[in-house]
Amino acid sequence: MNKCLITGFSGFVARHFIEYLENSGNNCIIKGLDFHNPDFRFDHYKNVKISFEKIDLLSSDQTKYIIHEFQPNHILHLASYSSVAYSWKEPVQSFLNNTNIYLNVLEAVRKLNMGCRILSVGSSEEYGEVYAEDLPLKEYSRLNPTSPYAVARISQEFLSKVYADGYGMDIVLTRSFNHIGTGQKDIFVVSSFAKQIAEIKKSGRKKGVISTGDLQIVRDFLDVRDVVRAYYLLLTQGKKGWSYNVCSGNGHSLQEVVDELASIAGIEISTKLNPALVRPADNRIIIGSNKRICDDLGWQPDISFQQSLKDILKYWELAV
């Protein structure tokens, strides 16, 4: 990898991806794109050389111009309005800022006739309503979307396949499950719990109450550092036109997340249900199979669930 364009550069996944490149000694030139400025510094790296441009990917002309100017070998397409809740409130904006922006990127690369590889980042939400017998979810499991966001992601995935098969473009796809890690916003569940517990700890109390949604929900959590390593491998070695689950293969209930964080913090935590945090029709259990990415790329999750939670709690203890 020598020239890599990253869309959605200001998000926490891009930051970890850069860290991964830097730490693995990858001498790479990065151009980051986002429609708001990143809130982190990127001028202190030794191996990766980064520039940033503010852009709305809905502008096909701007998108094409920048891609032409930069001439990337790889595109890591992270840009997404990735909130399911937001997609219910503003389905048109959600659709435009998932599917249409991605189509603009694809079309720019096609029209410029560039041979660069694109990693299309999708979501486990594409599986939608699943049955117990389908678990763990495989890449060939049925897609049964239950939110506007999930539809937008499936549209992105089908467009990728048609561009790969029909135009011969070099695209690899992911269905990424829940990421966790430092720098993730506290609208996401693990960050939210860790932040609340860090605040209680900071106050010096030995017990406290945190606000939660439904704690019986089981999700497949993967440390963002394992996620970005998977993305690097997929960008450099994934099979063209294939979709890969990016997940741990293990399920943890949100109750387990609370208990583990409380144990690490050494304080007694009780929970209070906030009905606003309970989604109307959420899936009870989502667990993916990572067999394909493990078999094809020799990838394995490196960081344990406990280690992730330790690091996240430490991050929030410094941040609150």
Q: By CB under 8 A, name the one of 51, 158, 278, 291 that touches a copy of itself.
A: 158
- Residue 5: CB atoms within 10 Å: 25
Stretch that binds a copy of itself, among 2-10, 13-21, 163-171, 295-303 (CB under 8 A): 163-171
Q: Which residues pair with 310 in a beta bridge?
A: none
- Establish if 56 lies at the interface with a copy of itself (CB under 8 A): no
Q: Which two tokens stand for residue 163?
A: 């561009």
Could you tell me the smallest distance in angstroms from the CB atom of residue 89 to a copy of itself? 11
Q: By CB under 8 A, name the one of 38, 91, 241, 249 that touches a copy of itself.
A: 91
Distance, in Å, from the CA atom of 86 to the CA atom of 197, rounded to the nearest integer, reads 26
Q: Residue 100 — φ and ψ, nearest 5°?
A: -65, -40
156 CB burial (10 A radius; 0-12, 13-18, 19+): buried
Distance, in Å, from the CA atom of 230 to the CA atom of 17, rounded to the nearest integer, reads 10
Could you tell me the smallest distance in angstroms from the CB atom of residue 95 to a copy of itself? 6
Helix (H) or strand (E) holding 197: helix 189-202
- Establish if 65 lies at the interface with a copy of itself (CB under 8 A): no
Nearer to a copy of itself, 60 or 236 (CB): 60
Number of residues that bind a copy of itself (CB under 8 A): 28
- Establish if 155 lies at the interface with a copy of itself (CB under 8 A): yes
Whether residue 156 contacts residue 122, with contact meaning beta carbons closer than 8 Å, is answered with: yes
Stretch that binds a copy of itself, among 99-107, 190-198, 255-263, 302-310 (CB under 8 A): 99-107
Helix (H, G, I), strand (E, B) or coil at 223: strand
Nearer to a copy of itself, 92 or 132 (CB): 92
Helix (H, G, I), strand (E, B) or coil at 241: coil
Q: Which two tokens stand for residue 29?
A: 């030139």
Could you tell me the smallest distance in angstroms from the CB atom of residue 162 to a copy of itself? 6
- Establish if 61 lies at the interface with a copy of itself (CB under 8 A): no
- Establish if 63 lies at the interface with a copy of itself (CB under 8 A): no
How, if at all, do strands 29-34 and 178-180 pair?
unpaired
Q: By CB under 8 A, name the one of 100, 236, 253, 289 that touches a copy of itself.
A: 100
Stretch that binds a copy of itself, among 157-165, 195-203, 207-215, 221-229 (CB under 8 A): 157-165
Nearer to a copy of itself, 13 or 114 (CB): 114
| Residues 303, 304, 307, 312, CA torsion sign | positive
x/- binding map, residues 279-298, to a copy of itself, per CB under 8 A? --x-----------------
Q: Which residues pair with 76 in a beta bridge?
A: 6, 119
- Establish if 302 lies at the interface with a copy of itself (CB under 8 A): no
Q: Which two tokens stand for residue 224?
A: 């963002």
Q: By CB under 8 A, name the one of 32, 72, 148, 301 that touches a copy of itself.
A: 148
Q: Which residues pair with 252 in a beta bridge?
A: 219
Distance, in Å, from the CA atom of 227 to the CA atom of 303, rounded to the nearest integer, reads 10
**Interacting residue ranges for a copy of itself, rule: CB under 8 A:** 60, 88, 91-92, 95-96, 99-100, 103-104, 106-107, 145-148, 150-151, 154-155, 158-159, 161-163, 165-166, 281
